[in-house]
Each structure stands twice: as C-alpha cells, then as structure tokens.
Structure 1
Amino acid sequence: MLILFYIVASFVIIIDQLTKYWIRTYLSVGDTMVVWEGVLNFTHIQNSGAAFGLFEGFGRLFVPVAIIIAIVSIFMLNKGYINGKVLEIGTALFVGGAVGNAIDRILFNQVTDFIHFQFRQGIPNLADYALSFGVVLIFIDSVIVDAIRKRRATEPETEINEKNYDQGR
C-alpha cells in the first residue's frame, strides 16, 4: 500500500508547485483574477508564516518540521504503523502539503498563497488545503474508524461479521 502514499503525496506536491508557479508567473503580488464572480478569486499574496497566515515571519522554522514529518511518516509507513487507506491518504495529504510549502520556504523564504473564496477569510494555497484535509482524514481514522474496529473486535464472530470486516479495509 505504500504506493498509494507516494502517489498522493507526489500529486499534491506537483500540483501545488505548478499552481504556485502559474500564479507567480501571471499575477503580480496583490493582483486578483476573478475565477467565479462572487465566489472564487485568485489573489497573489506572499506569506512568510504558516498555513492560513498563522505565525507571520516565522515560516523558516517550519522547514525542518516538514522534513521531520516526511521522514517520520515514511518510517512509520515502512514499519506498518500507518495502515488502512483513510490513514494512508490522510498522512500523504499532510506530508504533501507540508513539503509543498517547505519547497516555497526554501526557494523564496515565503509561501505563495492565492485561493480566495469570497465567503471565507484568508487566502491559502493547495498545500494548505491538503494539510487541513489530511488532518481531518487522520482524525477520522484515529477516532471513527478505530472505534468501528474496536466494536467489531468485541462482536461475536459470525460469517456475516467476518465478511463485513474483510470488505471494510
């Protein structure tokens, strides 16, 4: 299953970097392009902090954190501590987002943000959304899927329960 992790994490990093490159190439800092009137704009800003503009000016501190997260995640995957599709995809999204933003911090000392939904505050990028969605999936696996596993472990063994368990993960 490691291949799923590498595909998802690589996809996030590549798409994140391509979209940021496009924004840096075609929009000057502060410029806005309307994508969907009243809903979505691309507004080019540079963020020297963390995801969603937090910790402004301390972005460089997150580079070693991203590297450690990636190394620990790959180690845990190889050792079998991260198993199941939900947890694996969540971890891949988190790692891909962390590495995508770390690349910007290393190359530019700041992160390119551009996704501006009119109905919410903040201007994140794809890596920020991948990080956030990855955390949600990790939480779902850790709380909900784990509770389902525990419940199934306490149910009496029947042919139906075994069949459902095999199809679940």
Structure 2
Amino acid sequence: MIPILFYSVTILVIFIDQLSKYWIRSQLNVGETMEVLEGVLNFTHIQNSGAAFGLFEGYGRLFVPVAIIIAAACIYMLKKGHINGKLLETGIALYAGGAIGNAVDRILFNQVTDFIDFSFREGIPNLADYALIFGVVLIFIDATILEALKKRKTADQN
C-alpha cells in the first residue's frame, strides 16, 4: 500500500517552503525587513550558508547527503511497516519535507533562505525549519505519550 499521507505531507511541505522562499527572494533584498505584525513578526531576508543558528557557516552543502539519507530512511521504514499510525507518519513526513526543502536551497544556492523573524525569539528560521521542529514534536508525542497510553490500555485489559 502506498503511504499517501506521508508523500502528500512531504510534497506539500517542500512546495510551500520553496514557494515562500521564492517569494521572499523576489520581494526583499538580503538584509531587508518587511513588517508583518507590528512588534511581533517581520520577514527579514537572510541567507544562511551553514546549519541552524548559523552553525558550520560555509559548510551547508555537507547537509545535503544527510537530507537524502533521512528521506531514504523514512521511505524504507514506511515500506517495511516500521511507521504505524497517522501521527507518526505525519511527523516523519514533516521532518523529511523540511530536510528536503532546505536541501533544495543548499543544492541550488549553496545557502538557505531564512526569513521568519519573531521579535520574541532568537534566530530567523524558514518554513522548512518549522516543519522539522513540528515533525520532531509529533514523533516524540507518538513515541512517548501514545506509546505509554497503549501500554496502559494493554495492562488494563490484562
């Protein structure tokens, strides 16, 4: 059976991420800011040639094989039946889509376009970064909370 949820979410994340980055690159020069919600949210166009928070500056392309390995591992685990449940499948898809979305930038531009600038938060991420974060949160919820609930239900039935 084809994991339609996984592929749909992954492709949607990549598409929206790339579309948002294209729009930012076409609307703002690097370093320019557009106010979206006064005092809360700006779009600030920056280019990150490293990883999260500018770590490994200039070595961003090294993360392309990592993204490919992540995507391949996700597909392999899906095909082998190791990913069960919509929550886990969605989390894995968000994570894979975010990794691929940033990898596309690294392949095309040797850097990642970041722009989401919340006034109350350090760093300027992009939509792919948030997909990675939310994917990890869903994976964590599935692995801990839902698994604990399943064990409790099984113990209550015995």
Contact 1:52 1:128 in 2 (8 A): no
CA-atom RMSD in angstroms: 1.1
TM-score, structure 1 length as denominator? 0.90
Deviation at 1:55, TM superposition (A): 2.6
1:82 corresponds to 2:89? no
Instruction: Give the secondary-structure state (helix, strand or coil) at the position aligned to 2:157.
Output: coil
Question: 1: CA distance between counterparts of 2:90 and 2:81?
Answer: 14
Deviations 1:106-146 (A, max 9, x none): 00000000000011110000000000110111111111111
Structure 2 residue aligned with 1:23 = 24
TM-score, structure 2 length as denominator? 0.96
Question: 2: CA distance between counterparts of 1:95 and 1:151?
Answer: 31
Question: 1: CA distance between counterparts of 2:150 and 2:50?
Answer: 39
Question: 2: CA distance between counterparts of 1:45 and 1:85?
Answer: 35
Aligned length: 157
Q: Which runs of 4+ in 1 moved over 3 A?
A: none
Question: 1: CA distance between counterparts of 2:68 and 2:7?
Answer: 15
Give structure 2 stretches of 5+ with no counterpart: none
Give structure 1 stretches of 5+ with no counterpart: 158-169
Deviation at 1:59, TM superposition (A): 1.1
Deviation at 1:54, TM superposition (A): 3.0
Question: 1: CA distance between counterparts of 2:88 and 2:68?
Answer: 19
